[in-house]
A and B are shown apart, each in its own frame.
Chain A
Amino acid sequence: MNGGWRAFLRLFAVQGTWNYERMLGVGMGYAAEPLLDDLKSIDPVRHTEAVVRSAEFFNCNPNLAGLALGATVRAEYEAVPGAQIARLRTALCSPLGSLGDQLFWAGLIPAMVGLALAAIALGARWWAVLGFLVLYNLARGFTGIWALRTGYDSGMKVGAAIARSWIPAAIERVGPAAGFAVGVAVPLVAAWYLRDIGAAGALGTLAVAVTGVLVSRWYGAALTAVRFALVAILLLVLFRGIFP
């Protein structure tokens, strides 16, 4: 796979031109460019068609985009009909989005953030921040290399390769780990802030927290956490203005 490392590095910017029309499309085309270079000398017409296809609409979790990139590039070199490659790209959008979001956004990131917050509350300071950054980027780098290589090795059979891979099992484990880590972090962080505040202040803060949870569950997406916070801050300022 010539150009593999350049494509891997370019995948870090796969969302660089994110928009509501092609979504990751142009970013995928940018990452595909070094991988498609050799096709230029083999079949220039096919190369042009492949470049066009590479920048068309695409969307998925950026951390698993390498699977689609590797698979479609391999298919281009194997002279698979263009319509079939376009169908493969479309078919990969939802599963790669769903798997990546569950693995990273709903799993690995809250799990690692939860641990980092707990560690800071227990006094780890810089070490917690550094540990989070290093561990996350190792996991992400490994996933990125694996995704590109697996996609390229599998070509049109990438779906079966994903199903056989470590990803479904990892999602099963990382979700509960995220729940546990955030669960550990919340009381520790609350104690970290409220330890020297006094009982009245601590009870008031916890009352705000409980109200926030209940109100946000009642109103759903209409009252986001940020909106609730701004309303609460405004009410406090008004109250203090009226009753100084």
Chain B
Amino acid sequence: MSPNLIWDLFKVYEIINEISTFVEIKNKEYIMSVLVYTESEQGKFKKVALEVASYAKAVANQLGTTVTAVTINTSDSSALGNYGVDKVLNVTNPALDAFNANAYADVIKQAAEKEGAKVVIVSSSADSKYLAPLLAVGLHAGFASNVIEAPSSTSPFTVKRTAFTNKAFNITTINTDVKLVAVSNNSFGLVENTGSASAEDFAPAIPDFAVNVQSVDKASDKVSIADAEIVVSAGRGLKGPENWGMIEELADVLGAATACSKPVSDLGWRPHSEHVGQTGKPVASNLYIAIGISGAIQHLAGINASKVKVVINTDPEAPFFKAADYGVVGDAFEVVPALIEKLKAFKAQQ
């Protein structure tokens, strides 16, 4: 064999080597996953966790990749497999028992970096809304919030979000390499998948808290407005705080959260935490029942994301009738007790 031929063979070998390295890099890029933060409360997944997992699966399908979920102090993460998650990173650390936006954002960032995730998904719970902008800065990720549908395109990455407090939708593209999406609660729904998720422990570094919880005031026996599938809401038509017994009873029968209009909270009849509308809490329930609420534009904006709306009002001209799916023109003091009885009978049959 001539020295030249050996040299040529060596060159060929080098080229093959280079090609295979290139292919390896390409593969690595290909296997980057979608990361989803699946939040829990006292060890159990919140409903929004399963919704964002479902959303992450839809995005992963579009990108031809897999879903990795990160959990923090969740006792059993096996349910995630049913919603399309392929792999779970379980973080277990007593230091993270109380929510801390800084620390949680940093944990999710470390998980995203470990997985090389290009798309990160969070919910629109109060906690996730708190940590998401910190996470966006940490990951240098473009951030779209209040997203209600799977991306219409992944290149450019295009999502539909609510804007003008539910009076409009905004089509937005995210231009950065890493993308952060906050999914609007109760917009995408739960999508079951057959599958099972592999689980591994993940022990990220925990940064300084900087903000420390002193006390938590939370009614554990009540459904929160954010989590509720049904919200029963009442307004000034109820004439006084002493008349809320029937509202609470109706909510009880339906397993619903109670809410109120702005004037009612301004008058101090009900706590601020129940005020829903443009400057109050947003509502995106399956069923919203408005009792004695006329339907000011600011109120309607805040509750418009609810799927089905029922209004009960004495005034047939109340603007709420234009926004509602079902309406009863009648006196709340007669209609509500009667409706409670009908619903009790209906529930007993079920």
A and B from one complex:
no
B residues contacting A by CB (< 8 A) are none
| Residue positions of A touching B, CB distance < 8 A | none
